[in-house]
Structures are given as structure tokens and as C-alpha cells.
Chain A
């Protein structure tokens, strides 16, 4: 910390309580917001927070706190910080930890714990949090002695933010937060078992350059690794230099401009025809920062069957895990792309391939049937795109609305898209929007949620209201657990087992109960009107859109099928539009 003030430096050698150490450490890490919820085991810590006047957001559920921290991390690139109390407080963050682990989001999470002398006795609000969270954190700690605390916090921030980012949890017994010790935060992190490789192997880079020059049908599949590495510019530069088309994973959206002629759209289960066929027909597949999740590959037996696979990933364990890989490049995406650009390799001879892809893009676009009077959910997303000029930060929940948002909101810039990919966590969208807005105060934030998932974390409307965050909460209300309903329609002979919810509460009244305006629309004309109204208000607004309830997300690669076996693809000449 070169900029650290003299007085702060002095403090870093002083004796102080564990609670104060934690606060001093957070200051040293330039943490600007904490998301948390108090309780018995963290009372000493909350007392110090009170005295220090640190910016702390009290969510209304610990799950809200951790999803908010994820949204904050996704947009700011900085670690999200969470505090929860022992026992139930800690178990309430389990979903968020798993979500962050799957989607590689840097978090540093502090949980209270019962005092060391009663650990193991099933004391009041005791839970084996280290045991519970071991498989869902990048690393975790229990602080056994005050003398270890500064070192552990420093290591936690280092581990969370370097290599493949992820959540790190520190469990702190109550007596450790009270005990006094010497606070020295200027020590170096020494972790011989943790040395991530960030620079590419030159020989492998040259192999890739060679493979590109030989290729006739190359394609790039770009994932969130590009965003974590801050490498969107390099991706575009490289793709343009080599004239290679780009498809995105769900989490990668925004890494490459959606309006770029080389962009093919999202690949995978609900990907575009052009992106999925490109992955099927390519002879060279360059995966940059994606982990070949089953939602993007479909049945592995038919995945990229004609391709040589190159994979750039900071996590060596992802390479070759699902897809046999000829050219493995363990590296930070930015470093690898920079080196690839510098090599100025001979571009592929792929004019015929690009012509073919452009024809697919033109002939088989995303499509839906307009319906007079009603609100088509896809149209709703397009309208939101229009009214926000395509510049909003969009957070989503999980389900059909998430897929429509991914398909129809065209992200031209990185770090505008916050969604739960790997875990697919309903309840993510609303709290994530809080964190996203706090990470970028001047951004327009739209939280697009389903009527189902919204109710899993809707208590966080309180926080939005309290902080007067100008978030626009858009409920895509299909009176159903739409994605479940879709699968039941397609694969279970329309037996809608527990997926239809015709008696949803009055969301407009709910918004009003939380002290914010609520608006409702049931037709396209009304939708246009309420969107205009809502975005004219400089404050939070909840919008309840009653959309066509039986709409399905297409195209679709059914489970067990290959990417080339999409259903719901139509040629543009067949469309009524």
C-alpha cells in the first residue's frame, strides 16, 4: 500500500482487539462497503464497526448480503466483503458461497463462531462452518489465535483475488474478536502451495498461432475469464487481427461487442443457431476463459467433433476436464491474448467460413411471434434495451427471463451483465443489483427477475428503498416457474406439476409497502408507457409486467442432444414479422 498515510502505518504495529484488527485490515485493503447481518457471535465486531463508521449495508437476509457482494465484485472487479454471525447466519450464506465458487467471483467472507473453549460442544448457534464450506470455497480458515488474524486476512484477500478468483471464508471465534494482539499488516504473503500460473507458455502460444494459420474454420468461445482478466479490448483486437468469429458463453456476455460483425451470439442450450453451428462445424475451437460447462457443450459426444481444441484458462484443472484439448495454455486471458496479438500470426484462410456464418446469422436469427395486445417477454427485453440505450447494468434471476435477457439485451461493453450461471441460483438477481449499483453509482441498473425467484429474496427491496438506489426492478410475471413449466411442457407431456402460480401476490402493492413506486403493465402499449415513466424517476421503481404465460425459450438444445440438434429454429422467410 504505497499510498497509506503515515498515521495509518503507525497503527499497523499497534496492539488492538481482533475486531479492530479486522476493521484496520479492511481499511488497508481499501474495502469501501461491507454487506452483513449481526448476531451474538459478531457483537464485538459490530461494536467496532459502529465506532469506526464503516459503510455497512444491512441486508434483510444473509443470502441477500452475499449475493449483493457477488454483484459488487462482478461490476467492480474488487472483492465483495460479507459478515455473518455464527450458526444460522453462516448457514444462510452457503448458497451464495457456492454460487461465487462456481462463477469465480472474489469474496472475503467473515463468519462469527462460538468461543474457542466451547467449540465442539454443540454450543448455542454453533455450526461446523469450516467443514460445511470446505468444498464451496476456494479456501477457508478458522482463526485459532489472535496472533494469526492479520496474516489470515491478508492471505484471504490475496487468494480471493488472484489466479482464478473465488470466495474465501474466515471463521472467527468470539473470544478471538475480543482478545488483543499486535497488528502487523505489512507482512508479505507466503503461500508455497499457491502459485498460480499467469503467463502463457511460449511454445503453446506458437502452436496456437500455427493452428490458426492452418485453419479454415476457426471460432473463439469466450467466457467470463475474459472479463475477470479485464481483457475485452485484447479479445476484440485479436479477433479482428485474425478475423476469427466469436461466440460467448452466458457469463461471458459483454466481453465482445454484440453489434460487432464477427459476433455470433451466445452459444449453448439457448444459444443462437450461428453460434452453435459454428461450434459444431469449426475445425479450430479457441476457448478463452470458459470451462466447457454442460449447458454450453450439450452432449459432449457431438461437441466440436471436427475441431482441434485450444484452451486458454488460468485454472489448469479446467483444461481437458470435459473436452480433450490439443493446445493447453495455462494463463491469464489478457496475458495470453497480448502475446497472441504480438505474434501477428498469419490469419486463417476463412473467407468461405465467414460467409457461411453470416448467412446463418441472417437466415436464422433469434425470433418470436409478435402477439397484438399482449406483452411478449422477448419484446419486453428489447424495449428495456431501447429505453436504457443498451447501456444499463442488467442483473437477472434464473429461469426463462434470464435466457431472454441474455438473448435480447445486446451487451456491447464488459461488466454490464450480472447473472448466476454455474449454480443457477433463483433469488440472485435482486440483491446482486444492490451490489452492482453500489459498485457503479452512476450506472442505470435494471434487475430483471421472474415472479418466482423474486420472492426468494424480495425482502431486499427494503435496502433499495433505504439507500434510495435507483434500481429498476422488472418482474417478468408469467404466473409460473416458467423454465420448469417449459420443461414439463416439452418433456413431461404438459403435466405442470407445481410450476403454475396463478395466485401471485400484488407486486405493485408490495412495492408500495416497501415505500417505493410500483407500476403494472398488461399490454405492449402499457409496457411502453410504464417503462417511460419508470426511467424518468430518479429512484427505485418496481415494474410488474404480465407477459404471455405460455411462451417458451428458443432455440433449445434438449438435454442429451448435440448443439447441432437445436429445436425452435426458423428461417427468416418463414417468420411472420
Chain B
């Protein structure tokens, strides 16, 4: 299953390499990674989406990440109330005849056209990965020329539902 892992790390040279290297070494499959600054100077946040079915492996990933000296905090937020967003840019073929169709199609997705050329459009969409996925599928028949996706970035909502399965670090 897809798991979303977020962590804060020291923003030091090589830290991304350390983390991806660990994933390679331990044979964990990363679907996406996003990295960026946080509100604290010198601290970055990373969000990983990984595919793991085995509970034991999911637990190992967290524990191994925790062992890294430059990792400050790791949380598997899959089972929590979260905000998860992704941005995608989609270059789609658009002859004058189909252009209007596309405009109508993307409307409900609150996507926007960020570039127009003679035979193509660039559409920008943000939202939950499923929504991005859905839009791309709808655009496919028109002829997708290029897709660039940022991968998911996420954190937990301010208020957690009572009784939601809060599974941060494994408490031992």
C-alpha cells in the first residue's frame, strides 16, 4: 500500500543522498520525494511516498530513517488526517477545434492554463494526487506531450479526528 512518510532533516550537503541511498540499500521503492525549506532555518522537510505492503517493512523504514544523524523527526502519517498536495504541469496537444473542450474540461479541477502555443497548451493543476491523476486521464485522449509532477508533499492537519489511528514513531 502507499504510505506517506514525512520528516524534518538538517539541511546539510548530501542529506538527500543519505536518505535515498538508505532506500536503495534496503530495497525500499520510492514513488515520489519532495524536499523544501521549513519555517526553521537550516531545517528541511521531506515527504516520501513509498509502496510497502508489509507492516514490518514499513516499521523498518521508519526506524532506519530515525537512525540517520541528520534526521530530526520521522512520521508515517498515512493513517492520520492529513493535507496532501501535488502540482502537475501537463502539455497537451490542442488544435483550435479542441481548445474549447479542454477549457471546459479543466474547469471543475480549478486547473489553469499557464502557456499557450499554436498547437499545444500547458495546464497547471494542484491538489490531492488522485485529482491530478484523474485530470491527466481525462486529458489523455487529446494527446499528452509532456507531464511534469512534483510528487506529493504533505503534513498533518491542525486538528486530528478523535480516535484516528495516530501512528508516528513506533513506541517501544
Which residues does A use to contact B, with CB under 8 Å? 130-131, 134-135, 138-139, 142, 144, 159, 191-194, 201, 204, 315-317, 319-321, 324, 328-330
Contact = CB atoms under 8 A, between A and B. Distances in A.
Contacts of A134: 14, 17-18, 21
Given A134-B21, A317-B64, A139 B69 contact: yes
A135 B13 contact: no
A6 B14 CA distance: 39
B13 A321 contact: no
A130 B71 contact: no
B13 A142 contact: yes
A194 B69 CA distance: 5
23 contacts: A131-B14, A131-B17, A134-B14, A138-B69, A142-B13, A144-B13, A159-B69, A192-B72, A193-B9, A193-B68, A193-B69, A193-B70, A194-B69, A201-B172, A316-B66, A316-B172, A317-B60, A317-B63, A317-B67, A319-B172, A320-B59, A321-B56, A324-B56
Given A131-B17, A193-B10, A194-B69, A316 B25 contact: no
B60 A321 contact: yes
B22 interface: yes
A135 B25 contact: yes
- Which 6 A-B pairs give the minimum distances between C-beta atoms? A317-B63, A139-B69, A328-B172, A193-B72, A194-B69, A135-B25
Contacts of A324: 56
A143 to B, nearest CB: 11
A130 B14 contact: yes
A94 to B, nearest CB: 15
For chain B, give the interface size range. 20 to 34
Nearest to B59: A320
B71 A193 contact: yes
Given A193-B72, A328-B172, 9 more contacts: A130-B14, A135-B22, A135-B25, A142-B14, A144-B13, A159-B69, A191-B69, A192-B72, A329-B172
Instruction: Report which residue of B10, B63, B72 has the largest number of chain A beta carbons within 10 angstroms of its beta carbon.
Output: B63
A319 B60 CA distance: 9
Nearest to A155: B69
A315 B172 CA distance: 11
Nearest to B57: A321
Contacts of A315: 67
Instruction: Report which residue of B13, B21, B67 has the largest number of chain A beta carbons within 10 angstroms of its beta carbon.
Output: B67
Contacts of B70: 193
A440 to B, nearest CB: 31
Interface in B56-108: 56, 59-60, 63-64, 66-72
Nearest to B171: A201
Contacts of B22: 135
Contacts of A319: 172
A337 to B, nearest CB: 18
Nearest to A318: B63
Interface string B1-14: 00000000110011
A191 B68 CA distance: 11
